[in-house]
Amino acid sequence: MKKVFSKYLWLIEFISVALLVSLGIVILFVLKGNEKILYIPFGVLFTVLGLIRFVPLLKTTDDKVLKWMNAIELTIDLLAGIFLIVFAFIKNDKLDLGNSLGFIVSALLILRAIVYFYSTSIRKQSTTIFMFVFHVVLIISGSIFVGMGGFNTEDVKYVVFALCVLCALYLSIDGYKKYSNYRSLEYAKNKSKEIVIEEEVKNEAPSADEIIEQNEITERDNPEDGLNA
């Protein structure tokens, strides 16, 4: 099953591209008067990140202080994510977070960066350049959002649309590479089959020497046929 999934992963990526582009178009051009639904992507993002990271992160953290810090951070992520999802389904147009959405997202981004820099600089946890740059971007982005006075769903729809396009572009490139590899493998398999069939035909067909030898045996066995000819 794993081999089949990896073999046709390009198909899943192409379907994901179509869904992402459709979602971006709907959010930017179709979704009007119900912008509260845009709380859902943020809510799902923080909830999923909190759930997926919870057990592996705490299991592989020996430092007790860091373990508690990570547990608190992930719990806050989960609570914030669930709050945003539930809030999106409250059917009351008067209830709106307004720019508070930006402050919630900013707080979570800055919290993640603070925990990361504390763990790497104070608690001497290993890291990579990519993760360092990533968390620098997080804390800068969070600070900018706070300085801007937060953001609301009207601002978010452009951000979500841009993210959809960027993700779709990445998946398109990656899917194209996987599909090219898939077609190359299929082409090689078909060529191999043709070569095997040709070899089998050659092996089954008698050679020129075998035909001459067979004719000589036939002439020896039937000398009269040779005379009559």
Q: Do 82 and 28 belong together in one domain?
A: yes
Q: Do 136 and 165 belong together in one domain?
A: no
Q: Would you place residue 89 in the very low, low, confident or very high pLDDT band (cuts 50, 70, 90)? A: confident
pTM, rounded to two decimals: 0.66
In this structure, the chain runs to a length of 229
How many helices (DSSP H) and strands (DSSP E) are in the chain?
A: 9, 0
**Rounded distance between C-alpha atoms, residue 108 and residue 80, angstroms:** 9
Q: What's the whole-number average pLDDT of the chain?
A: 82
Q: Do 136 and 93 belong together in one domain?
A: no
Question: What pLDDT sits at residue 156?
Answer: 77
Q: Do 171 and 135 belong together in one domain?
A: no
Q: Does any domain span residue 163? A: yes
Question: Cα 160 from chain centroid?
Answer: 17
Question: What pLDDT sits at residue 99?
Answer: 77
Q: What percent of the chain has pLDDT over 70?
A: 80
pLDDT at 217 > cutoff 70? no
pLDDT at 211 > cutoff 60? no
**Rounded distance between C-alpha atoms, residue 103 and residue 142, angstroms:** 8
Q: Do 160 and 182 belong together in one domain?
A: yes
Q: Would you place residue 189 in the very low, low, confident or very high pLDDT band (cuts 50, 70, 90)? A: confident
**Rounded distance between C-alpha atoms, residue 154 and residue 159, angstroms:** 10
Tally of domains within the chain: 2
Q: What percent of the chain has pLDDT over 90?
A: 28
pLDDT tens per residue, range 5-48? 777 888 888 999 999 889 888 888 877 766 677 788 888 989 99
pLDDT at 72 > cutoff 70? yes
Q: Does any domain span residue 113? A: yes
pLDDT tens per residue, range 153-173? 777 788 788 888 888 999 999
Residue 33: exposed, middle, or buried by beta-carbon count in 10 A (0-12, 13-18, 19+)? Answer: exposed
Q: Do 30 and 92 belong together in one domain?
A: yes
pLDDT at 109 > cutoff 50? yes
Q: Do 166 and 92 belong together in one domain?
A: yes
Question: What pLDDT sits at residue 229?
Answer: 47
pLDDT at 215 > cutoff 70? no
Q: Do 176 and 78 belong together in one domain?
A: yes
**Rounded distance between C-alpha atoms, residue 181 and residue 173, angstroms:** 13
Question: What pLDDT sits at residue 213?
Answer: 60
Q: Does any domain span residue 214? A: no
Residue 59: exposed, middle, or buried by beta-carbon count in 10 A (0-12, 13-18, 19+)? Answer: exposed
User: In terms of pLDDT, which residue wins out, 49 or 209?
Assistant: 49
User: In terms of pLDDT, which residue wins out, 138 or 211?
Assistant: 138
Residue 121: exposed, middle, or buried by beta-carbon count in 10 A (0-12, 13-18, 19+)? Answer: exposed
Q: Do 6 and 83 belong together in one domain?
A: yes
pLDDT at 124 > cutoff 60? yes
Q: Does any domain span residue 91? A: yes
Q: Do 142 and 159 belong together in one domain?
A: no
Q: Does any domain span residue 211? A: no
Question: What pLDDT sits at residue 227?
Answer: 45
Q: Domain of 133?
A: 100-150
Q: Do 10 and 64 belong together in one domain?
A: yes
